[in-house]
Amino acid sequence: MEAPKMVVNSVAYRAGKRLKDITIDDISEVVKEPDTFVWLGLWQPEDSFMRKVQEEFGLHELAIDDALHAHQRPKIETYGDSLFIVVKTAQWINDEVEYGETHFFVGKHFLISVRHGASSSYVPIRAKVEENPKHLSLGPGFPLYSVLDFIVDNYRHIVGKFEEMIEDIESSMFRSDFDETAIENVYTLRRHLLGLRNAALPMDEICNQLIHLHEDVIPKELRAYVRDVQDHARQVVITSDDMREMLTNAMHVNLALVSVKQNEVVKRLAGWGAILAIPTVIFSLYGMNFADMPELKFPWAYHATLGATAVGCIFLYRKLKRAGWL
């Protein structure tokens, strides 16, 4: 049964060495051979093809149903003698983060990786694994670790990109002018960080179970390597949380600076309003049409009124200047 677009690689290994490429129809016989396991790499396989894979490997029907559809939550489940693992993948494409999934079926004699959505090819990882026959001889646990490590390294690469973006965003946030674009960038970046955190967080529990509960897949010799993947995943989660907190604080600082500047403007307007209130009151008083207004017949009344108004305005101006209102 040929499916060249769906089958990326189908290779048998024995005692840490690559034996040969095999067809799907031969898998059930090859996995019966001692010290032999098969690593099958698939890309968005069709339903009929996955049913054939299920038959050859003896996989559980529920796991096959999950593997046929993306948008599964990251998890690790046990079905008889095999494991079904779902992890989120992340790729930095055109200055954006795109997410996909990789589903793993792992048994004592096989590893099946099923990729959906945004995900780099695992062909280079396979080549790197084949250069280490000592660990490859331990079974499918070593290529499983290698792929998980590759996925988490992509998380860390994206975190590095986010750190560069945060430096640019922070410089625009520590200003007293309101920048709607900068606020939108902060919100978008916080959403991306949350998505990356949610992708990396389940990796901790997946690695923890692989280390403590599945020695048949991850022997003692590989536990330290899986713990390293677990530690890197935790670092991604912690760094993502820290950066989200930094962005929140930067946004609050920006809003505080804008508020302070607005308060300064209001104070200045209030100060000038108080100064202008003096001539407003005096001149409105003399604008009333009464026959017997005081000092109307005094020769210097007009000049005295202007002088008193000017003195009052100057006095109030100095007081407000010293108080920092002007």
CA 4/CA 134 separation, integer angstroms: 31
CB atoms within 10 A of CB 117: 15
Residue with tokens 């032999």: 36
Q: Under a CB-based contact definition with an 8 Å cutoff, are residues 217 and 210 in contact?
A: yes
Please tell me the pTM assigned to this model. Answer: 0.76
| Residues in Cβ contact with 202 at an 8 Å cutoff, skipping those fewer than 6 apart | 73, 74, 75, 87, 88
Beta bridge partners of 89: 100
Q: Under a CB-based contact definition with an 8 Å cutoff, are residues 59 and 48 in contact?
A: no
Rg (the chain; Cα; Å) = 36
List alpha helices for 174-219, DSSP H: 180-213
- pLDDT per residue, tens digit, the chain (326 aa), is 444 468 888 889 888 888 888 888 888 788 788 888 899 988 888 888 888 888 888 788 888 877 777 677 888 988 888 899 999 998 888 778 888 889 999 988 889 998 887 677 788 888 899 999 999 889 899 999 999 999 999 999 999 888 888 877 766 666 656 666 777 778 888 888 888 999 999 999 999 999 988 888 888 999 999 999 999 999 999 999 988 888 887 777 777 777 777 777 777 788 788 878 878 877 776 766 666 666 666 777 777 777 888 888 888 778 877 877 77
